[in-house]
A = this chain, B = another copy of it.
Amino acid sequence: MESKPIRIGIIGAGFVGSAFARLLLDDSRSRALTDAATVPVELVGVCVKDAQKKRTGVPNDLITDDVDALFAKDLDILVEVIGGIEPAKGFIEEALKNKISVVTANKALLAAHGYELSQLADENEVDLFYEAAVAGSIPVLRSLRSSLAGEQIVRVMGIVNGTTNFILSKMTNDGLDYASVLAEAQALGFAEADPTADVEGFDPAAKIAILASLAFGTKLEGDEISREGISKIRAVDVEFARRSGYVIKLLGIAERVGDSGLSRRVHPTLIPLNHPLASVNGAMNAVFVDGAKSGPLMWLGQGAGGEPTATAVLGDVLDAARNRASHRHDVPFTFDNRLHFVAEGELRSAFYISIDVDDEPGVLASVAKVFADHEVSILSMEQSGEGPEARLSFLTHVARTDSVRATIADLGELPKVERVGACLRVLTEGL
């Protein structure tokens, strides 16, 4: 065992960066950290935009606004927690090229450039770890990299966006409409003024891209994932789901299709109430993995927050420190790209479809004929409201997605159909 301390620098001192710095500086943890790292770990500098701003618990003499000054400190590990593509990407590349291991929480960067950065780390024989980029505190990436490395993963599903889960949970519990819950979430700081990245699924798409690339060894970027957000979900949809034994969640999914296909997508989904993902509420995150031999596995934990996310960063830093102390690095996960992407239209799923109709004799017959024409079989139908305010809600059997899309298009053309409301997938394969 060596005793030369591992030198750690941080770029960024927001919630995660400053919480992580406090963990490293906490005297009561220093023995545990040394034990876990097998060598002492030492915080040597924190690079921030505004060096004048006070950071609770982080001594001023560690703070600099000069990134070159940080790099000059003979770093072993760089922790990047500023987020975004640039300048983060440049800093990480500089570190890796200088044989500095990197720990980052940057989901956008990893989703877009994870493959090339992992290669760069390997070429320089250092580590690039990013546990905190997906699902905050939950240590699922390391499990995929190590414990499950020999397992054939069939499917990964995640509730990996706290904002949308907060909104959907509140719509479910309080029977409120999307717009009013969004406004409340914004007032509470749980949603951004421009909520697009969350509610339209960009954020969970980036996370599912990272999960899928580890689970399936396939290079995959966030913008190659089909996305459907939650902004069109109405209180009546949430209520119908509940009455039918489901709860609506925004799921990120990547799954094998047949022998060599891979589907990857983010969309709201009706989840059976007895499924473990159904009870993941509020700001909690969960990742569900189906292995060919392991069967179902689920991880649950806080998906955001400075301290929970900082614990994931710390886990990575200790791992990288152990590796450095024994002069080795983790070989990056192999990307063999043997799986081809399957177009969404080819996928089979059960659906919940609701249409607003003018309830006159013969409407249901004409609607049912459209379903039949596209070979979409109806499992159940329920009418609510009357006359021009009527609403028909359908649960279908499993059908091809393009058949369901065609059904929806044709339904919209029917004279007595005011509009098609929801068209949401239903999770039928269960635990």
Contacts and interface: CB of A to CB of B under 8 A. Distances in A.
B300 A297 contact: yes
A147 B103 CA distance: 13
B152 A29 contact: yes
Contacts of A334: 32, 35
Contacts of A139: 143, 146-148, 297
A326 interface: yes
Contact of A298 (B131, B299, B331): B299
Contacts of A281: 274
Nearest to A20: B293
A139 B140 CA distance: 10
A366 B359 CA distance: 65
A33 interface: yes
A379 to B, nearest CB: 24
A142 interface: yes
Contacts of A32: 149-150, 152, 217, 334
Contact of A300 (B35, B300, B317): B300
A281 B274 CA distance: 10
Contacts of A217: 32
Interface stretch (A65-73, A82-90, A306-314, A394-402): A306-314
A58 interface: no
Most chain B CB atoms below 10 A, which of A37, A151, A152: A151
A302 interface: yes
A43 to B, nearest CB: 13
A404 interface: no
Contacts of A278: 279
Interface string A283-301: 0100000010111111111
Interface in A137-167: 137-139, 142-143, 146-152
Contact of A274 (B279, B317, B333): B279
24 contacts: A29-B150, A32-B149, A32-B152, A35-B334, A36-B150, A142-B143, A143-B143, A146-B318, A146-B319, A147-B319, A148-B315, A150-B315, A151-B311, A151-B314, A276-B300, A293-B311, A294-B301, A295-B305, A295-B308, A296-B301, A298-B299, A299-B299, A326-B326, A328-B328
Interface of A: 1, 19, 23, 29, 31-33, 35-38, 131, 137-139, 142-143, 146-152, 217, 274, 276, 278-281, 284, 291, 293-302, 305, 307-308, 310-312, 314-315, 317-319, 322, 326, 328, 331, 333-334, 336, 431
